[in-house]
Amino acid sequence: MSDTARHTAVVTGIGLITALGQDLRTTFEALCAGRSGLRRPPADHVVAGSVDVAGIAPAVAAADVLPPSEGRSVDRYVLLALAAADAALADAGIEIGRDVDPWRTGVVVSSGGAGLETYEDQARARHQRGRTAISPYLLPGMLPNMAAARIAIKYGAHGHSAAIATACAAGAQSVAEALRLIRAGDADIVVCGGADAPLHPTIADAFGNARALARGWDDPRAASRPFDERRNGFVLAEGSAVLVVERAEHARARGAAGYADLLGWGATTDAYRPTAPRPDGLGAVNSMRRALTDAGLAPSDVDYVNAHGTGTKVGDIAEAKAVRAVFGDRSPAVSATKSMTGHLLGGAGAVEAGIVALSLAEGLLPPTRNLDTVGPGCELDHITGKSRDTRVTAAVSNSFAFGGHNITLAFGQSSIPVKRLSRTTEDGHG
């Protein structure tokens, strides 16, 4: 990761589908205004009774994203990923086969839980009606690689295609893999990100019985409160984020604009416990340090950290401790946008990568909602109340997962003309 001749990668397209909606501008404006997309599940929702509050994404029908012949028994996580990919490629203004060689187009889109809801529904049908009840379309509808595979099939992307299984770090690690492919010269663009649809009773009850979920809040919008003294767990959410990461020279040649450069990444493993981070935050420390080294950044270059910040007692303290260890007394601005989107598990890191890229382009940093009183051990330069209007030179995004997987992504100002939600300007550097 120290090759000085490596290619520059730039984010030229973003597709987000979360509890805040699926229009990019509307979603980012809501985040910057500190508006929550979290709510109580309606009485007829499958997860009602299992959770008090959830991040429910807009409906996506198979017919919206797939031909009729291909939409049978397709899990919701795949449909969400396809919707986000459609939006990202449209946002990038790129048509595979016209603007980019299909054989130099990669797809890395991952999931934390993949098609568990579809699997359980089919298992129940088999138990009730026997083996003939199982759909022959079950496996191509729910396997962990099927979001990536379906996107590649739909758009004719013939390059490297994969799914990464690192739980809640999977979306961020997919973005890191895109950078690896671009740098190695193996792709001109990579469609990358993550998706999850965990709003299902078995999954919700598993987290609930582990006492990991926020509970006891009269106002569902108050339930997700990273770093706050009264935090008591995360809010389970569904959705997807897909980014188009493109070789900067390729983007420049086709006259494209970019939100931000993807500068570097770092990965470590806690090797501690399956479901808890190291209390000293050492894995997160080294993940951030590796990302900065890979990006050629000093800690003082970083203006913003989008925290993993789920709202758990132990996790938030460990991350805050790690941020202080890396950045010292000069803490960059920090916010945890899961306070408004909820925790999308394998999709979370990709959502937050998209938010960071938008923040760099717009010069706006979204706040952490519900951070009324900073909890002991969580002291940082938290953004609260409303967005912070400031030019950002470099930023990082953290994603941590069950199993001790730590991923940090580092971003910088776009090296090609800057793409903003309102306009494109020529003030990119490099």
Please list, residue by residue across 337-352, b when 16 or more beta carbons sit within 10 angstroms of its beta carbon and e when fewer do: bbbbbbbbbbbbbbbb
Of 160, 200, 250, 343, which is the active-site residue?
343
Instruction: Determine the Cα–Cα distance for residues 40 and 51; give it in Å rounded to an integer.
Output: 8
Distance CA 153, CA 140 (A): 12
Which residues are bridge partners to 75 per DSSP? none
User: Of the listed 160, 200, 308, 382, which one is catalytic?
Assistant: 308
Neighbours of 129 (CB within 10 A): 10
Lookup: tokens for 154: 């739909």
Q: Which residues contact 391 (CB under 8 A, 6 or more apart)?
A: 303, 363
Q: Please list, in sequence order, all residues whose beta carbon lies within 8 angstroms of the beta carbon of residue 219, skipping any fewer than 6 positions away.
A: none
Environment class of 421 (CB within 10 Å of its CB; exposed 0-12, middle 13-18, buried 19+): middle
Catalytic residue chosen out of the listed positions 7, 32, 160, 168: 168
- Could you give the 3-state DSSP secondary structure of residue 54? strand
The encoded tokens of residue 341 equal 């989107």
Residue 221 to residue 93: CA distance in whole angstroms: 35
Tell me whether residue 378 is one of the annotated catalytic residues. Answer: no
What DSSP line would sit under 284-310, residue for residue?
Answer: HHHHHHHHHHHHT--GGG--EEE----
**Could you confirm whether 382 is annotated as catalytic?**
no
- In angstroms, the first-to-last Cα distance of the chain is 20
Query: How many CB atoms neighbour CB 353 within 10 A?
Result: 32
Residue 343 is a catalytic residue: yes
Helices 146-155, 76-92: axis angle to 10 degrees equals 40
Catalytic sites, residue numbers? 168, 308, 343
